[in-house]
Amino acid sequence: MRRALTLTALLLLGCPSGETPPLLTAPARTLAFVSPLSGEVENPVAFRVEAHEDVVLVRYVADDLFTLGSSEDVSGGFPFGMDFAILGGHTMTAIGHDEEGDIVAEDTIAIDVLPDPTELNELGTWLHPEDLVASEFTHGGMAQRLADSGIKRLYLPVGEGAPDCGSDPVLCDRDATDSYRAVGVEPWAWMQATAAQEGAAQAETIREAVPAGYHGLVIDLGASYDAAPEAVETLLAAMLFVRSQCDTTGLHLGGNFPLYIASEGAPFDRGLPVGRVDQAVDGYMPRIDLEAATPDQLANPDQWINQLLCEWRGEGASKPVHHVIAGPGPSSENAATLDSMVALAGREASLYSTPAQADDDGWEDLATMDWWTGAFVEPDCTP
């Protein structure tokens, strides 16, 4: 019984509040990754290690924060599989424990997770607060319309600043998120952050969103953060701290609860240097307003989108950039333009609107889109 209890205690359960757990150090004994080794790997990833004879359990930890899972299969090399929702660079650590639950060996590799070529893009749309209070709206009905249209992800508005499940009940509504998951649509929480409140108070949104079943959080930086990089850093530090306390191993994302930054204008145009926040986020979601685009930009979307992306890279963004396409809905006359924009914007592109649930014409227009599902290749941004 002692061993079972000790091993159970190694995992973070729920989202408890409390102090930062103490750092653990490992004695120098042998444990090494057999597969994969550092470098590019294709999603999903199968991990296996060779370990010292004292090792009876291996935990797999991503990015020094998340225990993704564990294995006790000694003869099989402690195998563990992960379908990463956040592609790109990850640090993976295998931590070996003995019969007493003590750490006796560990090894770390750096991997670059590439998409599974057979995997569909995570294309999405956004709901807005007024959508949730429309007379005909139900989560079940909306979920079915989204699934019928081929949409894979929905961003739901969960309030501004510190969480308030009384004012914004969708934040804490597990039945709502279950409605979307049941038909293959990922529910993501979308919050409006404000510099008028402490970052620690706003970070409590994660503590509500994880048990409610959201797959990630989009933090929309309002105008109050303009030219205030310290306030953004404080907010994100608080977000990372709360996220580190939460057990997300039951979610589709396999232990990682992504944090994306959304903004109407690029942060580096608002006095917020990307390089200072890049390590704290998993991606960026800048909005592209088609109605404000010039004729030349619309006539040359490849050049336009590539230029926008390279601006982010030039400002220090190493994480994925997922463009949000705002503007006119996908009527038959502009569906081709939107399709071309989605193709350029990448596997997690989205439209900044969703038809009203009773808007049959709007859903019919949405169906005119092909919802491109090819492989996205970043442009070469080398000067």
- Give the model's pLDDT for residue 299: 83
Which residues, 6 or more positions from 251, have their beta carbon under 8 angstroms from its beta carbon? 210, 213, 215, 257
Distance CA 374, CA 363 (A): 23
Q: What's the 3-state SS for 82-128?
A: ECCCCCEEEEEEEEEECCCCCEEEEEEEEEEEECCCCCCCCCEEECC
C-alpha triplet 43, 48, 54: angle, nearest 5°: 155
Domain 124-366 carries which CATH code?
3.20.20.80
How confident is the model at residue 121, as a pLDDT? 67
* CA separation, residue 287 to residues 30, 51, 59, 137 (Å): 48, 47, 39, 26
Q: Which two tokens stand for residue 291?
A: 């109605």
Asked whether residue 195 carries a pLDDT value surpassing 60, the answer given is yes
List pLDDT tens digits, range 316-375: 888 888 889 887 777 666 677 777 777 777 778 899 989 999 888 888 888 877 766 566
Q: List the domain boundaries for the chain.
A: 2-114, 124-366
Following CA atoms 157, 159, 164, 166 in sequence, which dihedral angle do they give, to the nearest 10 degrees?
-60
User: What 3-state class would DSSP assign to 19?
Assistant: coil
Q: What is the dihedral of CA 284, 280, 236, 275, to 10 degrees?
A: -70
SS3 (DSSP) at 280:
helix
Q: Specify the higher pLDDT residue, 379 or 205.
A: 205
Strand partners, 61: 67, 93
Please give the pLDDT value at position 8.
Answer: 35
What's the token pair of residue 301?
């979307």
How high is the mean pLDDT of the chain?
83
Per the CB < 8 A criterion, the answer to whether 232 and 272 are in contact is yes
Is it the case that residue 7 has pLDDT exceeding 60? Answer: no
Architecture of domain 2-114: Sandwich (2.60)
**pTM, whole model, 2 decimals?**
0.70
